[in-house]
Structure 1
Amino acid sequence: MINFKRNRGLAALEMVFVLPILLLLLVAIVEMGRMFMHYTTLNKALQSGVRSAVVETYGTERLSGIASVDYIQSIVVCGSSICDTNTVLPGLTKADISIDDSSISNYVTVTANYDYVPIFSSLPIIGTSFDVTMTASTIMRTAP
């Protein structure tokens, strides 16, 4: 007959070794998903901004002009022309958005530099920060 008294507590000991690894893996998966969502939101906001730069050209001085820089930045940062405290991403400001209107090449480029701050922005043991700067840009033709 097998004596099971020697194996008491073995499952608890295995859990002590495996649980931190599984929790770290879970946190990494959640953080990567959140980072991907922020990057996708940033790209969609840039697409809206560059599209409004080309379409909303009423009142510009030349026929192939683009919308005003402040209007484009408001569309990217807030999602509408009226920019208040509600932004599409936390920490995204108008200063993070740059617009390049090269009238020679008939293209407009809208670029954003976004500082992504993870849920666990730093480990207390190591003291290093895990902040990541995301850079995204979108290009659209202004004239045929």
Structure 2
Amino acid sequence: MMIPPCDSTKARQRGIAATEFVIVLPVILLLMLGTAELGRAFYQYNTMTKAVRDGARYLADNAIKGATGVIDIDAATEAETKNLVVYGNTTGSGSPLLEGWSPAEVTAAGFDAAHIRVSATFAFKPMFSKIPAFGLGEDIVLELNFQAATTMRAL
């Protein structure tokens, strides 16, 4: 019995789509995970910069004591500013806005005679913190250090 040419072409084509899928799947997964990780990094950086800006507004409002016109940042105001940046409230209660962030990574001080400055750093840790080198050298570390600072005129 002779198989028609059309059927033999179909038989030879069977499995091609599955093979192409297996070849393309790792690339697609890598692109999807990279996009998700980049979005996560932008989200955390944006959260950090907004928190630093809010802390600078709070410190600018509370830096001048009385009608002296001189910037005087006491320890309590500095601690409240750091707590506001990290926790979103001046008491320091609750969990940090970013996982692993602490008030020690925030500085709040006078910048000059009329301005204050709040700055912060945050170590962004991606889901996969290292790319293995498979014995061909050192592993590639993927951690990023985010920095944000805001300077405002003291009110």
TM-score by length of 2: 0.82
The answer for the alignment partner of 1:128 in structure 2 is 140
Q: Is 1:112 matched up with 2:120?
A: yes
The answer for the alignment partner of 1:83 in structure 2 is 92
Which of 121, 124, 149 lines up with 1:137 in the alignment? 149
Q: Aligned residue pairs: how many?
A: 142
Residue 141 of structure 1 and its aligned partner are, at CA, apart by 0.9
Which of 7, 18, 26 lines up with 2:13 in the alignment? 7
Residue 109 of structure 1 and its aligned partner are, at CA, apart by 1.3
Residue 107 of structure 1 and its aligned partner are, at CA, apart by 1.4
Cα 1:65–1:139 shift into 2, 3 Å: same
Which of 22, 32, 49 lines up with 2:28 in the alignment? 22
Where has structure 1 moved over 4 Å in runs of 4 or more?
57-62
Residue 120 of structure 1 and its aligned partner are, at CA, apart by 1.8
Q: Percent identity?
A: 27
Residue 14 of structure 1 and its aligned partner are, at CA, apart by 0.4
CA distance in 2, matches of 1:141, 1:75: 19
Q: Which runs of 5+ in 2 are unaligned?
A: none
Residue 95 of structure 1 and its aligned partner are, at CA, apart by 1.2
Q: Which runs of 5+ in 1 are unaligned?
A: none
Moved more, 69-78 or 123-132: 123-132
CA distance in 2, matches of 1:45, 1:58: 21
The amino acid across from 1:128 in the alignment is: I
Moved more, 116-125 or 48-57: 116-125
Look up the SS of the partner of 2:140 in the other structure. Answer: coil
